Amino acid sequence: MEQGASESRSLGSRVARHILRLFFYLIITALALFIGGLAIFYQHIATIAPPDNPKADAIVVLTGGYQRIDQAVQLLRKGAGERLLISGVNPATTGNHIRVLTRSSDDLFACCVDIGHDAMDTTGNATETARWIRGRGYKSIILVTNNYHMPRSLAELERTDHGTRFIPYPVPTDVSPSELVRNPLLIRTIAAEYVKFLLVVSRDWTGFSV
């Protein structure tokens, strides 16, 4: 009887070790996949570049810095699109405030710029943009946002609006290795964007919202 109990304990111990070993391998595999995917994501945002002389029905810029808005207004001035939506503007910020900061004319903002105050995040940007596109019947859009934010923004917009062609126009943020060493917070920003991007592309089965 003691021998049977001993064999049972031995079997249980072997099963436990096997489960722990399997769990360890799964963790290592998941970590390797994450790091590999992050490296590909980093390479993409480090090399993505705006197209030369882009042309579309209209332009959309997602707020998050006036460098983005400046670039979008410049595209509008050059005739890259007939109209500009600035999505996700703080309700306390007026169109006139943005016009002054971008040194734009009253005529340009009066005729061709729409200010969106509803969006609170990238998901909201996509909803606000899709509604604006449907209301005006556009078929092609130049999307302006930072390079590290572009993959998630495109994923959100393409998921929300299947009928529109989005042309990415990334505003460069220095993500070179030397800059990552100098500014470690940038590593956290890129990693966070990668995680959010994964959640966006897998949202239908994860149920997460970012």
Q: Is residue 25 part of a domain?
A: no
Q: Which amino acid is at 68?
A: R
Residue 5 has pLDDT above 90, yes or no: no
Q: Is residue 128 part of a domain?
A: yes
Q: Is residue 98 part of a domain?
A: yes
Task: Provide mean pLDDT across the span 194-199.
Answer: 94
Q: Do the beta carbons of residue 155 and residue 198 sit within 8 Å? A: no
Q: Is residue 49 part of a domain?
A: no
Residue 204 has pLDDT above 80, yes or no: no
pLDDT-derived band at 208 (thresholds 50, 70, 90) equals low
Domain ranges, residue 193? 58-206
Structure tokens at 143: 């999307």
Q: Is residue 10 part of a domain?
A: no
Quote the pLDDT of residue 206: 58
Q: Is residue 116 part of a domain?
A: yes
More confident residue, 153 or 93: 153
Q: Is residue 78 part of a domain?
A: yes
pLDDT in tens, 22-41: 888 888 888 899 999 999 99
Q: Which amino acid is at 135?
A: G
Query: Which residues does 152 contact at the CB level (< 8 Å), separation at least 6?
Result: 122, 193, 196, 197, 200, 210
DSSP one-letter code for 118: -
Check which CATH number belongs to the domain holding 130 and give it.
3.40.50.620
Of the candidates 85, 91, 169, the residue with the CA atom closest to the CA atom of residue 125: 85
Residue 65 has pLDDT above 80, yes or no: no
Structure tokens at 115: 């200010």
pLDDT in tens, 10-23: 656 777 777 888 88
Of the candidates 36, 7, 15, 4, the residue with the CA atom closest to the CA atom of residue 198: 36
Q: Is residue 3 part of a domain?
A: no
Residue 144 has pLDDT above 80, yes or no: yes
Total structural domains within the chain: 1
